[in-house]
Amino acid sequence: MPTPYCPIVATLGYVLSPDRERVLMIHRNARPDDQHLGKYNGLGGKMEPGEDIAACMRREIREEAGIECTSMRLRGTLNWPGFGKQGEDWLGFIFLIDAFEGSCHAGNHEGTLEWVPRTRLMELPMWEGDRHFLPLVFDDDPRPFHGVMPYREGRMQSWSYSRL
């Protein structure tokens, strides 16, 4: 009998500037033991017991950037088998935050927060796999994407997705 699939459930959010020209990214440069060290990423983290996935996204943005999401859209889901430090599976809910209140922190315990022009996103150092799904986060297709991106020993093995 196969082992039950028990991924770590998490959110990943991309906050747009009011003019929709820039995206808030975290430059993971604060912790030497961080598996993301040196890479840029959206904001987010693990879901806690007792919260729904939207509440998780709002909490993570509040904790990491100090702003309150007032409008966000689920852009997709991503299954990352084998992504964790010890090969744990992750299931991510990817959001686009298109309105917020408050002023953004300069950084947090994971690194520096930076507003990056959307046109320069693909120039940043990031996980190899992010280059595959990021265009789907920002495209004009209203349908969410649902992807799978297996990892082995820290490397993406393949990528596929569908939209319904």
Residue 64: give its domain's CATH number.
3.90.79.10
Could you say which DSSP state residue 87 is in? Answer: S
Which two three-digit tokens encode residue 62?
């509040």
Residue 137 lies in a domain: yes
Could you say which DSSP state residue 81 is in? Answer: T
Residue 2 lies in a domain: no
Residue 1 lies in a domain: no
Please tell me whether the overall predicted TM-score, pTM, comes out greater than 0.85 for this model: yes
Residue 39 lies in a domain: yes
Q: How high is the mean pLDDT in each 10-residue block of the chain (164 residues)?
A: 90 98 95 86 96 98 98 98 92 98 93 97 94 97 98 93 95
Distance CA 108, CA 97 (A): 19
Reduce the DSSP state of residue 7 to 3 states and report it. coil
Which two three-digit tokens encode residue 114?
């930076």
Distance CA 57, CA 95 (A): 8
Residue 58 lies in a domain: yes
Residue 49 lies in a domain: yes
163 phi and psi, to 5 degrees? Answer: -130, 140
Residue 22 lies in a domain: yes
Report the half-sphere exposure of 77 (CA within 13 A, side-chain side).
Answer: 13
CB 149 within 8 A of CB 158: yes
Which residues are paired to 56 by β-bridges?
none
Number of domains observed in the structure of the chain: 1
Residue 3 lies in a domain: no
Domain span at 43 = 8-159
Residue pLDDT, tens place only, 16-52: 999 999 999 999 998 888 778 899 999 999 999 999 9
pLDDT of residue 125: 96
β-strands 151-152, 68-80: how paired? Answer: unpaired
